[in-house]
Structure 1
Amino acid sequence: MFNSLIAWGRAVLRKMGLIKEINAISDIRPIPINDSFYEAIDTWLALYKGHLAKYDNEPFHEVEFTTIEGGEQTRRMHTLGMPKIASKEMASLIFNEKCSINIDDEDLAENLGNVFEYNNFYKRFQNDLEYMFASGGLVAKAHVEVDRTGEKQIKISFVTADCFMPLSYSNDEILEGVFLNISRKGDKWYTLLEWHTWEGNEYVIRNELFESGNAGQLGVKVPLDTLYEGLKATASIENLSRPLFSYFKPNIANNIDLQSPLGISLFANAIDTIKLIDTAFDSYHREFLLGKKRIMVPATAIRAVTDPETGEMRRYFDASDEAYEAFSFDSIDAQKIYDNSVELRVEEHIKAIQSLLDIYAMQIGFSPGIFSFDGQGVKTATEVVSENSKTFQTKNSHETVIEEGIKNLIASICELAKLEKVFTVPEKYDVSIDFDDSIAEDRDANANYYLKIMNNGLMPKYMALMRILKVPEDQAKRIIQEAKDEAATELPDVDQMYGDGA
């Protein structure tokens, strides 16, 4: 869906003032975010993809240089790709195959498990979190679709921050928003705006389609069936307590727009360091290119001369060999050959890059040393994570808001399931997220710690089990009761108690 052409189209539209155009034609709700913030999102995504041409009107990954003949040229800088590496590392630390979503109601747990399986949630969510850390935000939207068998299924769609615009929010929770989808058909550009708003107690979804012959313009409004057959212009839903989407963002204060509910990228405040890292890596790469062996020979030595005896053209040196450089010497040593090999500054470059990586790690919430450069590439030292490390603290900080986002998504799914009668939802249920802390936590030591407190009478059994297994209170109490019931049925037989009577 989000191929490079469409991504390019979105960037062009924003730079041409798309938000202003939407506000100008819309009678629904003005967008309280300006173009400059979405330009920042475009910058973060460009860094994540590995190439940012300019930043603050200055060259970033496009290096300008002057040739010996005075010509101006540009080349693309070699990069380490640290925005991608950092986003991936943080996402994998937080959510992986060992994470689990626990529901205290068995039937609901099974139904939600089927929803997550239908959407490949556990496989996709880590990648989607990576996009969230890169772009500063992620929206998970729930809707109902009919599968091939004719059964209703709840579909979860993920949208990155550059395709979502908030309309209203309260206590930092986004309540209304507009989703943006740009596509191309033939020589026409189409922009679908999907508005999610509240009108009194009704949750209203409106769809508007615009057509333009220019990628830089919103164009004119056209019927929805021009591109989307069967899509309704308006849908009103009653008895909803929350929106049908959940907004995720990194747990980082937005210091770009202090009034905005949107999040910022994991590396939003480390862009200068990223440039220094890539500049050092580019210099390291070119050290081998520019520092290659060169032999200076007289220009006359590479000219072709005629052998007076055979009449054949001969050279003393191979003119196509790049090791040789021809010079005209104006001295008595004009016929000497000079080896102009230079010493490569490998260790200096590696030390410089490593020091910059440590600064970068500190700026984005990792412990120094988490990234290491060995001259061949960057390695991540996840084994150094411990409970008192900066990496572990940052990981837990992000988990707080991500857990809340998952709970909100589940609430939206449950409300949609009740309205569309996809499955039954109990009046009350409890949700807990068991993130994988095994990278920094000894489960046996953790269990022994809480068991020791419980055995000393300082903590009830269910509370100890909640902390050991990371399950909700009701589930912990149910496990304890099931264990008691099972133990009660496993009574010893009479022969064991009183002997065999012999």
Structure 2
Amino acid sequence: MKRRAKYVFLSWLRTLVNKLYPDYATNSYQYDNMEEAMEIWREIYADEPPWSKNCHGKTLNLGATIASEFARLIMVEFESKITGSKRAEYLQKQYERLTKQLRVKLEEGCAVGGIMFKPYVRNGVILPDCITQDKFIPLSYSNGIITSAVFFNQEVKGEYYYTRVEKQTYSYENKSHTIESHFFVSSSPDNIGTEMILGKINNGTWSKIDPYIVINDVDRPLFAFWAVPFANHIESDSPLGVSVYSRAIKLLNEADLQWDRYLWEFKGGELAVDVGEEVLRQRPGEKSLETASTRDRLFRRINIDSDSNSEKSFYEVFNPDLRDENYSRGLNEIKRQIEFNCSLAYGTLSNPQNVDKTAEEVKASKQRSYTAVSDMQHSLEAVLEDYIYACNAMADACNLAPSGEYEVSFNWGDGVLEDKDKEQAIQLNEVNSGIRKKTDYLKWRYGVDDKQATEMLPDSGVESFFDEGGGS
């Protein structure tokens, strides 16, 4: 199978790492179960689940839908900015290179369980390298934080495949971050080939890379790993995360099977007419039979020996009652179970008009979704701060911008839980009842200050408190 072949390749890469870095060999073997799980999560995200043949290739692609929805909820009101100095202005420009693509990258990270944000310098600019956790190998970690990892990058030029193996390691004792690179060339993408000697690297981009870099006086790794903040039920000791739909794999299978049944109900229940051969006529010059004026899909020929004494030919309409409503209700219930297992609110995947739940159950499901997304936002905020710290350290090491302090602000909003139309109606009612000031409502509604809110009020003939010109 395709999945198994790729899994073997990942194991082969792990073997290579153990040869290059034997001191870490005992730490990297333990991810067998995670590697296999990540392959399944990746297949589901690519709409190629292991059960695809069982449902005749008719899938709902719910894995990608769930991952996309979580990424949307995380980023729906996201705002972040770096301020404070010339250094901050430089960092803000580099930071924007990541934030502009963050939602798309998070979707993929949600699907496979986590994503590494690794900054690197090229031509005076800091660029983000976003690597999902199924494409790098962690070597060591402390208190759940990855401190050493190996990354792979392959480029094709002409007939040759160039592979860069990069190990990054942070030392808490020395407060230093080391980047060590090895370069290989091969004539096949499945074979890493031979290692190129320093000074003879003929890959244009990599020839400028220093194979051994040490950045001192840093208090954390110069990469930032975000893991889906769910407990890892595959390997509890692993620093890697689990897919947002990892607890619903069997249900995703059932949903696709039920969808296949639902579609088959329409296909199998198509109107048809079963007729004896004597009703059909032969096409000129052909052996096939047809009726005088009809589409081939309507009539089905049946070879039945008719009673010679009967003047009636066999003729029967096949038009069964469809059971689509039953199948639809079953599929909707499976979707509800998926929503529950994935910490999504009811109605996210299922039909929101058919949510037969009490008001308290609906509220609880929204709260469940809000809590999950809030946890993701808080963990992502810490990771983004680590990424900015790494960018700042690289700016120092490479003298990319003037020194200076910086501050980072985040605003995630509460749109996941709030019903703004309902909240607006409540606030307007409070204004009309006289228990809330009109200016307070305008400040909330439009995000203005006291003076702007006062100026927005209709002219009442009363002199504004903020009128700097004074009375006449």
Q: Does 1:260 align with 2:238?
A: yes
| Residue of 190, 209, 213 corresponding to 2:183 | 209
Structure 1 residue aligned with 2:62: 82
Alignment of 1:390-409 (within 5 A): 390-409=368-387
Q: Does 1:169 align with 2:166?
A: no
Change (3 A) 1:335 1:183: farther
Partner Cα distance (2:363, 2:290) in 1 = 63
CA contact (8 A) 2:58 2:256 kept: yes
Partner Cα distance (1:348, 1:246) in 2 = 48
Structure 2 residue aligned with 1:21: 16
| Residue of 124, 134, 139 corresponding to 2:101 | 124
Partner Cα distance (2:275, 2:387) in 1 = 72
Q: Does 1:114 align with 2:93?
A: yes
With normalisation by structure 1, the TM-score equals: 0.73
Structure 1 spans left out of the alignment, 5+ residues: 55-59, 64-74, 147-151, 307-312, 376-383, 449-467, 469-478, 481-489
| Segment drifting more, 358-367 vs 326-335 | 326-335
Shift of 1:424: 3.8
Shift of 1:259: 0.8
CA contact (8 A) 2:346 2:366 kept: no
> Which secondary structure does the structure 1 equivalent of 2:147 belong to?
strand
Structure 1 residue aligned with 2:80: 101
Partner Cα distance (1:314, 1:361) in 2 = 52
Structure 2 residue aligned with 1:145: 122
CA contact (8 A) 2:33 2:234 kept: no
Percent of aligned pairs with the same residue? 23
Structure 1 residue aligned with 2:220: 242
Partner Cα distance (1:191, 1:9) in 2 = 20
Shift of 1:423: 2.5
| Residue of 37, 43, 61 corresponding to 2:34 | 37
> Which secondary structure does the structure 1 equivalent of 2:275 belong to?
strand
Alignment of 1:333-352 (within 5 A): 335-352=313-330
Partner Cα distance (1:394, 1:277) in 2 = 23
Q: In the alignment, residue 179 of structure 1 is paired with which amino acid?
A: F
Q: In the alignment, residue 123 of structure 1 is paired with which amino acid?
A: K
Structure 2 residue aligned with 1:378: none
Q: In the alignment, residue 45 of structure 2 is paired with which amino acid?
A: Y
Shift of 1:385: 7.8
Change (3 A) 1:304 1:367: same
> Which secondary structure does the structure 2 equivalent of 1:208 belong to?
strand
Q: Does 1:181 align with 2:160?
A: no
Partner Cα distance (1:423, 1:25) in 2 = 36
**Structure with the larger RCO, 1 or 2 (CA within 8 Å, 6+ apart):** 2
> Which secondary structure does the structure 2 equivalent of 1:413 belong to?
helix
Superimposed CA distance per residue, residues 265-323 of structure 1 (whole angstroms, 9 cap, x where no aligned partner): 001111100000111111212222222111111134335289xxxxxx99545696111
> Which secondary structure does the structure 1 equivalent of 2:246 belong to?
coil
CA contact (8 A) 1:169 1:176 kept: yes
> Which secondary structure does the structure 2 equivalent of 1:257 belong to?
coil
| Segment drifting more, 392-401 vs 272-281 | 392-401
> Which secondary structure does the structure 1 equivalent of 2:107 belong to?
helix
Q: Does 1:191 align with 2:188?
A: no
Partner Cα distance (2:160, 2:363) in 1 = 51
Shift of 1:166: 1.1
Partner Cα distance (2:283, 2:60) in 1 = 49
> Which secondary structure does the structure 2 equivalent of 1:322 belong to?
coil
Shift of 1:363: 0.4
CA contact (8 A) 2:81 2:92 kept: no
Q: In the alignment, residue 210 of structure 1 is paired with which amino acid?
A: F
Shift of 1:420: 1.9
With normalisation by structure 2, the TM-score equals: 0.77
Q: Does 1:324 align with 2:299?
A: yes
CA contact (8 A) 1:136 1:250 kept: yes
CA contact (8 A) 1:180 1:193 kept: yes
Structure 1 residue aligned with 2:392: 414
Structure 2 spans left out of the alignment, 5+ residues: 354-361, 428-443, 451-465
Superimposed CA distance per residue, residues 230-278 of structure 1 (whole angstroms, 9 cap, x where no aligned partner): 2332222222222221001111011101110000100111110000011
Q: In the alignment, residue 221 of structure 1 is paired with which amino acid?
A: E
Q: In the alignment, residue 111 of structure 2 is paired with which amino acid?
A: A
CA contact (8 A) 2:71 2:110 kept: yes
| Segment drifting more, 318-327 vs 364-373 | 318-327
> Which secondary structure does the structure 2 equivalent of 1:321 belong to?
coil
Partner Cα distance (1:385, 1:426) in 2 = 47
| Residue of 53, 57, 61 corresponding to 1:62 | 53
Change (3 A) 1:314 1:21: closer
| Segment drifting more, 415-424 vs 172-181 | 415-424
CA contact (8 A) 1:18 1:217 kept: no
Superimposed CA distance per residue, residues 335-355 of structure 1 (whole angstroms, 9 cap, x where no aligned partner): 221101222222112111110
Structure 1 residue aligned with 2:437: none
Partner Cα distance (1:8, 1:209) in 2 = 27
> Which secondary structure does the structure 2 equivalent of 1:372 belong to?
coil
Shift of 1:401: 1.0
Structure 1 residue aligned with 2:195: 221
Partner Cα distance (1:386, 1:111) in 2 = 44
Superimposed CA distance per residue, residues 186-229 of structure 1 (whole angstroms, 9 cap, x where no aligned partner): 55544321110246444221112334455444443234724333
Partner Cα distance (1:387, 1:414) in 2 = 41
| Segment drifting more, 199-208 vs 321-330 | 199-208
Superimposed CA distance per residue, residues 141-169 of structure 1 (whole angstroms, 9 cap, x where no aligned partner): 112221xxxxx222112111111211111
> Which secondary structure does the structure 2 equivalent of 1:144 belong to?
strand
Partner Cα distance (1:222, 1:294) in 2 = 69
| Residue of 356, 363, 378 corresponding to 2:341 | 363
